[in-house]
Amino acid sequence: MPFLAQYLKNVLSSQSSDWWAGSVVNQLSFHQQRQINEKKITSIESLDLAALIRVFDKNWHGISFHQQLSRELLK
């Protein structure tokens, strides 16, 4: 899990200065957003695996474009 969190942080922060709000928090489900607010989570390293996977999935298009990942990785 630490690898995925670090990877997402590196990639997403290089795409936007407001990456935490736009690419992380806004991509989570209502329940996950509520947990972040209640637990006062402010770092991607503190997210659980389900939240990290959701962030990766919701940002796949941007990640794959900026990292020049091919569609074959989805197969």
Query: For residue range 19-56, what is the model confidence (pLDDT) as tens digits?
Result: 999 999 999 999 999 999 999 999 999 999 999 999 99
CA geometry: angle at 21 spanning 74 and 54, to 5°? 30
CA angle 73–71–63, rounded 5-degree value: 85
Which DSSP string corresponds to 7-74?
HHHHHHHHH-TTHIIIIIGGGS-HHHHHHHHHHT--SGGGS-HHHHHHHHHHTHHHHHHHTT--GGGG
Segments forming the whole domain that contains residue 65: 2-74
- According to the model, what pLDDT value does residue 70 have? 64
To the nearest whole percent, how much of the chain has pLDDT over 70? 85
Q: What is the pLDDT of residue 64?
A: 77
Give the pLDDT band (50/70/90) at residue 60: confident
| 72: confidence class by pLDDT, cuts 50, 70, 90 | low
Predicted TM-score (pTM) of the model is: 0.84
What domain count does the chain have? Answer: 1
